[in-house]
Structure 1
Amino acid sequence: MADQDKPRPNTRLRAVRELEFQMSRGEFASAVRKAGRAMGENVGCGSRLVADWEDGKVTCPRAVYQRILTQMTGRSMADIGFRLPTPAPPVLPASGPYGPKAEEDDVDRRAFLLDGAGTILALPLGSEKQAPGRIGASEVRAVTAAVTTLYAQDHDHGSAPLRQAAAEALHTAYQWLQTGTYTSRTESKLRSATGGLAVAAGWLSYDSGRAGDAHSLYGEALAAARIADDPHLEAHAFGCLSLLAKAQGRPREAISAAQGAQTVARQLGSPRLLSLFAMREAGGWALMGDSSATDKAIVSAHTLYAQGPGDADPPWLSFYAPGELAGLECLARADLGQHERAAAGAEQAVLLHGEAFARNRALYTADVAIQHAVRDRPEPEAAAEAAGRVLAFLPEVRSDRLLQSLHNVAGALQRHNRVPAVADWIEEYRATTATGGGRA
């Protein structure tokens, strides 16, 4: 084995375990399991896995362990010696903000991102006039890596800086499909990867308030899934269509799409995936005002979630952490008019998210504010306090959904504008949006 192929020991994690936690590997594994249970994650971490982490045999743990270790140590994955996967071949240009120096400087990375510089996901096609030529495994990996990059940045910063980048990457992938040369095996993989990229682009369109574009992209992904005989992609596309239908006020369509997603997903061996789609169905029933069907779907979602993560969970599902489970339930409760339960659920969602998924934390914090403002016994001061926390996410998080949520918060608080805390918040909100601090 060449030296460069040998695992590199993770001395940072070992130092944290030995010096800070003062634990053996077995004790540390037990602490990981305990922390996981506290977060609603049932994991089977043992001393062997901890040894693999420290010996460098595992350079980056699964998403569920990333969440647990971040919560346990209060550090990022990089700070405790793990290396997050990087695109291969690189999907981001060398002139962009994601080079080695930027990885060490989050402030610079955010500044580049929010200025819109260097966000192009440059799949290695070459000039527009150049024929793609032979397409193989490296191109498929490039498309898949682009999807991973999009989701990672979207979770932290929202869709606004990424939408155009996704569209350009998808255009390149379609060019490869239409004019490239490849084997039938590569075609199937490339079509599935491109469908996954279409889903990611559709999500960014949805988050940016472009429902028509999102619907078209999800439809393209569904077609790609069926051509490639890819049930994972088919279930994902159905789930996204359910989310979009609910957002557009079409509950029956949302329910049907969620049930379609569950039908496909039952063969995939992922209880967490089925849980998400059950919660999507709950959202549709709630929008119809059917509390009995909503409760049944919510119970099913929680039961499935409690079965824990598994190897069959798709990578994109990493966002479906306990905080998201609580958050989706709170949205259903809100649609049923159960405002006190919705407010409590939204607070729980924000708490469980910790420091991860900034955009989702911002949205659920906005829900907290709205529910406090519209409940049977309004609490305007609590609503204003939560609303103030939402403004703190701007301008780093840029999402049209978040801006719409802030608009809804302002509308809900307007009736309480004689309360000093509310009046102060409304003034701050108007000043922030007037100066462009929250614009995409």
Structure 2
Amino acid sequence: MDTTRNTALEAWMDEHGHSANSLAQALNSALERLTGRVGRFDGRTVRDWRSGRVRCPNAATRRALEDVTGLPPADPGFVPRGRAPSTAAPQEDPMQRRTIVAGGIAAAVAAATPGTASPRRIGMSDVDRIQKRFAEIVASDHRHGGQLGIEQRAAALADAALNLQNAGIATQRVRSSLYGAAASFRSSAMWAAIDGRRYNDAIGHMREAQALAELSGDQTIKFRIWSHAGTLFRHMGRPADAFAANNVARNLHITRRDPLFGSLGMARQMAIEGIAQDRSGLRRTFDQAQDAMHRADPAACRPVWLRAFYDQAELHSLALSAHLSLGDYPAAEYHAHRCLAALRPHMRRSKAIATSRLAHAQLAQGDADAATHTAMSVPFDAATQHDRVSRMLQEFGAALRATAPGSSSTHTWTEHTAAWRATT
């Protein structure tokens, strides 16, 4: 019996990041989708193919393999019974391989470049390269936040991820990953627009992101988009819509599988309760969010966007926002100090926002001097270039002039902001 290793299958599995077990699971899903029968493949089955002990699976298995790999069986090294191995190019016309992308987002045709034997194969290495750009977008957001340039770069990268669908043939796993990448970038564009108070633009990004997330099937990015939608409606002063959107995120099964997602969902609900003037549930919601955070496994594998920002500092930041909305200024000040003490160094945007909110809480308690000193500590670039921070500081100045007209604090603040205007 010929037991020459199936090096073509091994190479395909390496390129697409599949272990024997993960390929078996993908084939089971494909077989059920194609025939209605639950597949019984396991890691041993795939290892038999890879070792060459099984050279040609049955017809139903070959259909499942073609569905998963996007290739005719000969390409990943499977030889039809009674036929010698061949190095000839597959007979299938690659022009017939088409992928119709739902939702009106993109219509992608996997076609060969003229003059080539076959279309390019898109693999997980392509996905990995574009995902690295997502980490850059997340980092830019935490340094600067709300900038139109961040929104535009994120939207362009979403389009680039979709354009990869046009570049060649790919497995369903790769295509789902590309949709997930596109949804991630579009959700970052949405967040930058929210942070920059460009709410109509944020709604447009939200709708595209939601459709892409459905195509990807990725629960983590669905959570991010619906959770952002709750924040969007909260900033727009629409608490009923904010609760509804945030509840979609909180009801995804990812929140039961990973308590950290559940914690973030509860923390953002707490901020919505603040603008809804719901005092009764605020403390309980904070405690639930805190408890879920404590139960979360710190070593669990999580998406970069969640690891980059959600921690104890962000929980206190959302509590600060909630108590400030309620007019509970002592509690707001408490959470502001806890937030600022816990913030990681790269969270420059979050620090500027928390500091501005702290100034409001101190002023509302009658301490104009401390409030002015706090407000003046906001960095120049955040105070002048971040729309949300700029607006909060403008409102602080108006409140300071109303509550302490003619005071030394008001005079100091006026001179401070005049220096800002002179350099912008």
1:258 and 1:358 mapped to 2: Cα distance?
26
Structure 2 residue aligned with 1:124:
none
Structure 2 CA distance for partners of 1:289 and 1:423, relative to 1, 3 Å: same
2:141 and 2:420 mapped to 1: Cα distance?
22
Q: 1:149 aligns with which of 127, 132, 136?
A: 136
Is structure 2 residue 244 aligned with structure 1 residue 246? no
2:255 and 2:334 mapped to 1: Cα distance?
35
Structure 2 residue aligned with 1:399:
386
SS in 2 for 1:241: helix
Structure 1 residue aligned with 2:367:
379
Structure 2 residue aligned with 1:313:
302
1:417 and 1:178 mapped to 2: Cα distance?
63
Would the aligned equivalents of 1:269 and 1:312 in 2 still touch at CA under 8 Å? no
Larger Rg: 2
Structure 1 residue aligned with 2:92:
none
> 1:86-126 CA deviation, whole Å, 9 max, x = no partner?
xxxxxxxxxxxxxxxxxxxxxxxxxxxxxxxxxxxxxxxxx
TM-score (normalizing by structure 1): 0.65
Would the aligned equivalents of 1:327 and 1:364 in 2 still touch at CA under 8 Å? yes
Shift of 1:216: 2.0
Shift of 1:435: 2.5
Would the aligned equivalents of 2:143 and 2:349 in 1 still touch at CA under 8 Å? yes
Structure 2 residue aligned with 1:259:
247
Shift of 1:134: 4.3
SS in 2 for 1:209: coil
Shift of 1:258: 1.5
Q: How does 1:396-435 map to 2 (within 5 A)?
A: 398-415=385-402, 416-435=404-423
Shift of 1:148: 0.7
> 1:123-154 CA deviation, whole Å, 9 max, x = no partner?
xxxxxxx9995432232112211111111122
Corresponding letter in the other structure for 1:404: R
Shift of 1:167: 2.6
Structure 2 residue aligned with 1:361:
351
Shift of 1:199: 0.9
Q: How does 1:169-188 map to 2 (within 5 A)?
A: 169-177=157-165, 180-188=168-176
Structure 2 CA distance for partners of 1:182 and 1:397, relative to 1, 3 Å: farther
1:400 and 1:157 mapped to 2: Cα distance?
11
Would the aligned equivalents of 1:330 and 1:346 in 2 still touch at CA under 8 Å? yes
SS in 1 for 2:132: helix
Is structure 2 residue 331 aligned with structure 1 residue 331? no
2:303 and 2:157 mapped to 1: Cα distance?
21
Is structure 2 residue 282 aligned with structure 1 residue 294? yes
Q: How does 1:82-121 map to 2 (within 5 A)?
A: none
Would the aligned equivalents of 2:320 and 2:331 in 1 still touch at CA under 8 Å? yes
Is structure 2 residue 184 aligned with structure 1 residue 196? yes
1:421 and 1:351 mapped to 2: Cα distance?
25
Corresponding letter in the other structure for 1:317: L
Q: 1:283 aligns with which of 267, 271, 275?
A: 271
1:405 and 1:290 mapped to 2: Cα distance?
23
Bigger Cα displacement from structure 2, 212-221 vs 246-255: 212-221
Q: 2:154 aligns with which of 163, 166, 181?
A: 166
Structure 2 CA distance for partners of 1:286 and 1:265, relative to 1, 3 Å: farther
> 1:3-40 CA deviation, whole Å, 9 max, x = no partner?
xxxxxxxxxxxxxxxxxxxxxxxxxxxxxxxxxxxxxx
Would the aligned equivalents of 2:220 and 2:254 in 1 still touch at CA under 8 Å? no
Structure 2 residue aligned with 1:389:
377
Structure 2 residue aligned with 1:303:
291
Q: 1:345 aligns with which of 335, 343, 347?
A: 335
2:331 and 2:283 mapped to 1: Cα distance?
13
Would the aligned equivalents of 2:144 and 2:348 in 1 still touch at CA under 8 Å? yes
2:394 and 2:162 mapped to 1: Cα distance?
37
Shift of 1:198: 0.9
1:369 and 1:267 mapped to 2: Cα distance?
34
> 1:301-336 CA deviation, whole Å, 9 max, x = no partner?
111112243414332112112111111101101111
Taking only the aligned residue pairs, the percentage that are identical comes to 26
Would the aligned equivalents of 2:162 and 2:178 in 1 still touch at CA under 8 Å? no
> 1:203-230 CA deviation, whole Å, 9 max, x = no partner?
1111222112212222222222222221
Would the aligned equivalents of 1:146 and 1:197 in 2 still touch at CA under 8 Å? no
2:383 and 2:410 mapped to 1: Cα distance?
24
Would the aligned equivalents of 2:230 and 2:241 in 1 still touch at CA under 8 Å? yes
Would the aligned equivalents of 1:358 and 1:397 in 2 still touch at CA under 8 Å? no
1:240 and 1:316 mapped to 2: Cα distance?
12
1:220 and 1:353 mapped to 2: Cα distance?
32
Corresponding letter in the other structure for 1:203: W
SS in 2 for 1:173: helix
Shift of 1:344: 2.0
TM-score (normalizing by structure 2): 0.67
Structure 2 CA distance for partners of 1:297 and 1:246, relative to 1, 3 Å: same
Structure 2 residue aligned with 1:220:
208
1:418 and 1:346 mapped to 2: Cα distance?
28
Would the aligned equivalents of 1:270 and 1:313 in 2 still touch at CA under 8 Å? no
Shift of 1:244: 0.6
Corresponding letter in the other structure for 1:297: T
Would the aligned equivalents of 2:380 and 2:420 in 1 still touch at CA under 8 Å? no
Corresponding letter in the other structure for 2:130: V
Root-mean-square deviation (CA, aligned residues, Å) is: 2.3
1:356 and 1:388 mapped to 2: Cα distance?
20
1:373 and 1:192 mapped to 2: Cα distance?
44
Corresponding letter in the other structure for 1:273: F
Bigger Cα displacement from structure 2, 333-342 vs 404-413: 404-413
